[in-house]
Structure formats: structure tokens, C-alpha cells
Amino acid sequence: MAIPVIDIFAGPGGLGEGFTSIVNDDNERKFEIALSIEKEYYAHQTLTLRSFYRQFDLGEAPEDYYRLLKGEITLEELYERWPEQAQFAKNDAWLAELGDGENSISPEEVDTRIIQALDGEENWLLIGGPPCQAYSVVGRSRRQEKILDGKKDERVELYKQYLRILAVHNPSIFIMENVKGLLSAETEESPVFARILEDLKNPVASYELDYGENDEALACPGYNVFSLTSRPLSFDIEGNPVNKHKDYIIQSENFGIPQTRHRVILLGIRKGYEITPDVLQSQDEVPISDVLNGLPRLRSGLSKIQDLNENWLNVVTQIADTKLLSQVGSKVGDEIARQVNRLRLPQKGIGSNFIGYRNVSPTYNPDWFIDNRIGGVCNHQSRGHMESDLHRYFFASCFAKVKKKSPRLEDFPASLLPNHKNVQEGIKDKKFADRFRVQILNKPSKTITSHISKDGHYYIHPDATQCRSLTVREAARIQSFPDNYYFCGPRTAQFVQVGNAVPPLLAKKIAIIVDDMFQQIEEEVQETQLSETI
């Protein structure tokens, strides 16, 4: 039987997608999402739709699912046509907020749903990551916070919801994910990460501290917390694995993900099992060209003037102004002139939420990304940009092609610098000096974050002739989502979902390790039962 998974703070479901993608010899899923909890409306829609997709055997999703992707039917019509599967999906994906906030659900409600979802199964997996904005280095810098205060920002304490579920429900294994900034975050009481590690070793103690005495003694014996990149340096006198804090960081580019996404991911196994997990096997870096390859070329939209093909061409070609070319150096100037001469209107224009298209196969891991039943590509529409930003994007892409790096503010000619009060500060003090960032074609992307929803400046496409920022689908491919993973909601919400997700292909690699651990648990249980019978 498939191992049940409870996914909290689930986002659009990147972690869950990785776990549900591994199969046994009969092509059956080894893990199933019994319950996912997410508070954001559109992310929950995406979770529910993906749960619907998984109600069918692999490769057996109905044609109506693909009609939805093509925009031929609505989500409501899809669910009306498949009411049984839709109801299961709606039961699995719960729109709810964890925590102690005004809109949060009660612990009792959470416990009831978890018990119902597990249906008596004792060996199960808890996954998820509390919201990370409170811990991120960039976020703390913008808020000018050196010390975090859980009373002012409830997100600081949200990891305790994770601890409470561990203490009360006692899963065999857990996977917990958060930003690298967790390692340096501090409250007045202690460094956050050291405290979290101690709490995870003994979640019952944390539960009693925060929730008071429980009527019944909690059975959770605590957890041994392992790194997924490095075997323990040693074990302490209580048998807990000992690692350096940095060993808990997974640098995704070292494990087959085409972006430099660095995240803390913890693997916990309930005390009492004599199991030391394997670690992830590193591999060569994957450049973004290997996953963007085959997607339809698009032009950017125009946000301030009428969005017509001829207007776009007129705007972009203005960058070849001879005065400007003389300001950027001969090699970059020559590249700008060359790319302007190559300008052609892409067949698919600015794209759409669905584009009928044949050749969408990337060169990297095509079996993971491609589903030929789609007949095209989803969530692939460029956003509109101001005319001045188009010139900055074009310059930046040409600069990167020549220099093999993205330009900083001091590299821009004066005529292309934005009219912002902090630009000179950025040049002088190097503060956010890379605010216009091109992704380099033959390298992994920089981290895809939810900031991509605000503007495209950090995510400029490397092809100057497209002169735009990345689309949702391009960001999703860099995040390693399969092409048949459809993101619901308006484009801004789609970007937020992609940016907040755990890369599913990385999650799959972790799932393989976790699956082996569950097999070892099963063997230990069988050996114990055999010895008791003898």
C-alpha cells in the first residue's frame, strides 16, 4: 500500500509532487497525499487540481483534464464531469490556515482531519515548510531586523505548528524545509535554528510548553534529525546525529536542479529505529538552456503604449541609437547592433495561458517534463514592460552574452539608469546593485522566489531578441515542475506559487531516500514480530 503523506504549509505542492512521482514495479505510486493544508486561495486551487490528476493511474488522466489546460472547459466543468474524483481531491486538499492568528483553524480541527486522513495507519510521513519570509536574509535586511520577535510577527513561531503535529501524531519520518536564512536568524532568547533542532529532537517538551499539560501522555519519543547532504560527523550520548549547521543546506544546483536555490531541508526519523539514511548524490550542474530549450519564443508585452507588434519593434530597435552604443564599449555595442539586426516578431506573440505547439521537449530529462497529451504549453505568457525597461533588458542580455555575467548598476550607461532615488546609493554602496539580473544561458538560474510576481527585473530572459522577463512556465521549468502541472489563478498568483515551491525533481530524489527508510522500518517491524512469536 502507498505510504500516507500529510503535507502542511503545502504551497502549490512541489514537495508532494516529488514524493507521489516515484512508483513501484507495477507502476503504482509509493506515496499518496492523504491531506495537504494550504491557506492561499489560488495555491489551494492548484493543489486540488493536482490531487484530482492523481486520482487516476499514471498516464490515465481523462481527456477533460487536458481540455482544461487548453482553456476549452472551466475548472467547475471538469469537476462536474468527474464528481467522484473531484470530491476525493477536495477532501485531500484543505484550504485552512495553521497558527494562532485570528483566521487560524483550531488544533482540534487539525487533529480531527489528520486522524481521518490517516485512517489508522501508523507508518506515515509529514512534509512541509513553515512560511519563510520571517527568516529570509533579504527580508530581514529590508525590515532592518536583527532580532526576530514572534509577538510582532507570528510567522516566526509557525514552525511550532509543525512541532505540535509531530508531538501529537507521531509520524515515522518527517521532511521540513525552510530558507538558508534560518541558520542566521535569532530571537531574544536564542538562535532560531539551534532551538528548532532541539525542539525537533523532543517535540513533546515544546508542545507542553506552548499548549500546557495534555490530558493524555503523548507517545512521541522524539526524532533523530539528519542532513541529506552529509553523513553524521558523530552521534552524541543520547544517540542524536551530530552535524555542522551548514550541512543541512541543500544547494539545488548540485543535485540536478537548474537554479542556485539553497534551502535548509531536515530529515527526521522517530527515535527507536536503527536507521541512518543515505545522502543525496551530487551531479553536474544543469544550465537553464537545457530546460528552456523547445519552449515557444515570445516577445514582451507593452504596458504604457498600445501593445501592437509594430510598436514593440519600434521601441526595441531604438536601443541601437549611435550615442548609446558609444557609451557601452565596442564589444557590447557590437552585440547590441547584431541582436537588433536579428530581431523578428515571434510567431506566438506575447503567448497565452495555453499555446498549441509541437516541439516543447527540453534536452534535460524530457520524460520528466513532457506530456505529449497536452499538445502545447501552459502558463506561457510574457508580461508587459515599460519602454525604458525594455531597453535595459536588451542591453543587459547583450552585456551578459559578451561578459558572461549579469551587469550591475555601475555597468549601465547613464541614459539607461532608472530614475530612482536609490540608484546612486546602489552604485556607490553596492546595495541591490544587481536589480536588473539576466539569467545566463549556460549556467543554472539564480533562485526563483516569489519576488518574481512583482516585476521581472531579477529574471531577464537571456535571449535579447525576446527582450522580456521569464514567463510562469519558464520559471516552472527552472523549478523542475512537469509541463502538465497547471498553476491556477491570475498570472501574479501563478508566479507566487512557483517562487514559493520546493523543486519537485529535488523532492523526488529525497523521496527515493525516504522510501528506502520506510522499507527498512518495515523490515524492522517484521523482525520484531517474528521474534515475539518465537
Per domain, the residue ranges of the chain are: 3-286+502-533, 289-500
> Is 151 in contact with 246 (CB distance < 8 Å)?
no
CATH code 3.40.50.300 for 3-286+502-533 = no
Q: How confident is the model at residue 210 (pLDDT cuts 50, 70, 90)?
A: low
425-451 per-position pLDDT tens digit: 555 555 556 789 999 999 999 999 999
Q: Does the pLDDT value for residue 129 go beyond 90?
A: no
3-state helix, strand, coil in the chain (%, to 5): 45, 15, 45
Three-class SS of residue 234?
Answer: strand
Q: Does the pLDDT value for residue 172 go beyond 80?
A: yes
For a pLDDT cut of 90, what percent of the chain falls above it? 70
338-378 per-position pLDDT tens digit: 999 999 999 999 999 999 988 667 999 999 999 999 999 99
Single out the residue of 182, 203, 195 nearest to residue 134, CA to CA: 182
267-303 per-position pLDDT tens digit: 999 999 989 999 999 999 999 999 999 999 999 999 9
Q: How confident is the model at residue 143 (pLDDT cuts 50, 70, 90)?
A: very low
**430 or 525: whose pLDDT is higher?**
525
Q: Which amino acid is it at 454?
A: K
φ, ψ for residue 218, nearest 5 deg: -85, 135
| pLDDT in the model for residue 137 | 39
Give the Cβ contact number of residue 349 at 10 Å: 18
Which three cell numbers mark 337? 547592433
Single out the residue of 248, 295, 288, 350 nearest to residue 479, CA to CA: 288
Q: Does the pLDDT value for residue 422 go beyond 50?
A: yes
| pLDDT in the model for residue 213 | 56
Look-up of cell digits 538558508: 180
The residue length of the chain stands at 534
Give the integer Cα–Cα distance in Å for 113 and 105. 11
- Alpha helices for 123-236 (secondary structure H): 137-143, 159-169, 192-201, 203-211
Q: Does the pLDDT value for residue 326 go beyond 90?
A: no
Q: How confident is the model at residue 134 (pLDDT cuts 50, 70, 90)?
A: very low
28-42 per-position pLDDT tens digit: 999 999 999 999 999
| pLDDT in the model for residue 217 | 67
Q: Does the pLDDT value for residue 410 go beyond 90?
A: no
| pLDDT in the model for residue 427 | 57
Between the alpha carbon of residue 162 and those of residues 165, 195, 406, the distances in Å are 5, 14, 39
Q: Does the pLDDT value for residue 24 go beyond 90?
A: yes
What is the mean predicted confidence (pLDDT) over 215-244?
88
